[in-house]
Chains A and B, each alone.
Chain A
Amino acid sequence: MREQRYHQIKAVMARLRLDASARLVVLVDKDGQQIAVHGELGELDTTSLASLVAGNVAATGGMAKLIGEREFPTLSHEGERESIHISVIGRILLVVVFDDRSSLGLVKLRSKQISQELAAAFAEIERESEFPSGADALPFDEITDEEIDSLFSQT
């Protein structure tokens, strides 16, 4: 994902957060990798959240197939104070964390309204990644054993 697209997506997330009065908006891919995050992070471990959201969607997707559905496009978990709403947008999961400043109905509505815009942005990203520019070249051509060892010694 290139810088320009990243900022475009962050702007969409910021708008959603405001419109939905949400605490936090996170974008995760279906493999559990966090793509972008916007909002009140606090102490929240968003890497673990991303992995668990993907696991959650994968598990409910498995349930959907068992009963003859393709997938469940949205998932909600309501807690006493904090709640989570997840929308499946192709390969991307849009996660909204909200509290009693908002409501599930509002979050659902705003997430749905913004889904198409995000889907279009990610379709562009996918298209761009098929035609990598020179700037995207990864410098791993001749990665050496020493460099791998040094990665581990940094931890």
Chain B
Amino acid sequence: MTFINYASREINCKIVYYGPGLCGKTTNLQYIYDSTATQAKGKLISLATESDRTLFFDFMPLELGTVRGFKTRFHLYTVPGQVFYEASRKLILKGVDGVVFVADSQEERMDANLESLYNLEENLRSFGYDLLKVPYVLQLNKRDLPNVIPTRDLTVELQRKGEPVIEAIASSGQGVFDTLKAIAKQVLTELRKS
């Protein structure tokens, strides 16, 4: 739930990057972190295993500046992608304002994408959210790899409700900010309805 502090004229929104293991959720955050001016960002907190797999979540606060007199902060989270971290993955979705689903475009990861998307819908439902109503963006990541499924086919398989679909190569930053902008816009637009 968006937290609006009228006293200090601040808006804080929670964005969660979701997707199967090794799809590039943390890489998205890392790129945003590396390319953002120091004064606009807090620390990038990564609760990861020794082999750099996300154990609980990554977290990064991002201050975007002022829109119509309100200071806007986005709190970016990733979930652990590996299937067996289900319990902790679900917790991160609590109070979410917008979701980015990061899909791995490689052919052999298609089943993992579908499983993770199904899992996202289930977990959102357990908190009373409906994926069809939550601000949502689909990112097709790893477009630079040789064995990727064509964008059109992936879109047909994974798009749920006409959400923006953005092609990305998170490791080089391509599509990363387009994704963030697309979700930010939906979240801010959603505020007027609440």
Q: Given A31-B95, A58-B94, is A155 in contact with B65 using a C-beta cutoff of 8 Å?
A: yes
In the complex the two chains form, what is the Cα distance from A51 to B87 in whole Å? 18
* Inter-chain contact A147/B94, CB cutoff 8 Å: no
In the complex the two chains form, what is the Cα distance from A15 to B77 in whole Å? 34
Asked if B17 is at the interface of the complex by the 8 Å CB criterion, the answer is no
* Inter-chain contact A48/B177, CB cutoff 8 Å: no
Interface of B is mostly: mixed
* Inter-chain contact B68/A148, CB cutoff 8 Å: no
Asked if B135 is at the interface of the complex by the 8 Å CB criterion, the answer is no
Among B4, B64, B68, B92, which residue has its beta carbon within 8 angstroms of that of A152?
A: B64
> Number of A-B pairs whose CB atoms are under 8 Å?
123
Contacts of A69 in B (CB 8 A): none
Could you say which of B47, B91, B180 has the most chain A C-beta atoms within 10 Å of its C-beta?
B91
* Inter-chain contact A32/B75, CB cutoff 8 Å: yes
In the complex the two chains form, what is the Cα distance from A50 to B117 in whole Å? 28
B3 — nearest CB in chain A belongs to which residue?
A: A33
What size tier do the contact residues of chain A reach? 35 or more
Task: State which of A17-25, A102-110, A135-143 sits at the interface with chain B.
Answer: A135-143
* Inter-chain contact B66/A154, CB cutoff 8 Å: yes
B141 → chain A closest CB, angstroms = 20
In the complex the two chains form, what is the Cα distance from A55 to B7 in whole Å? 26
Task: State which of B35-43, B106-114, B148-156 sits at the interface with chain A.
Answer: B35-43
| A-B residue pairs, 3 tightest by C-beta | A31-B95, A154-B65, A6-B7
Chain B contacts to A: CB under 8 angstroms: 1, 3-8, 12, 14, 36-37, 40-43, 45, 47, 56-57, 59, 61-70, 72, 75, 77, 87-88, 91-92, 94-96, 177, 180-181, 184-185, 188-189, 191-192
Chain A contacts to B: CB under 8 angstroms: 1-3, 5-7, 29-35, 45, 47-48, 51-52, 55, 58-59, 61-62, 135-136, 138-141, 143, 145, 147-152, 154-155
Return 26 A-B CB contacts under 8 Å, by A number. Answer: A1-B7, A3-B6, A5-B7, A6-B7, A6-B8, A29-B3, A30-B95, A31-B14, A32-B14, A45-B42, A52-B45, A55-B57, A59-B91, A62-B88, A62-B91, A135-B6, A140-B67, A140-B68, A140-B191, A147-B68, A148-B67, A150-B65, A151-B72, A151-B184, A152-B177, A155-B41
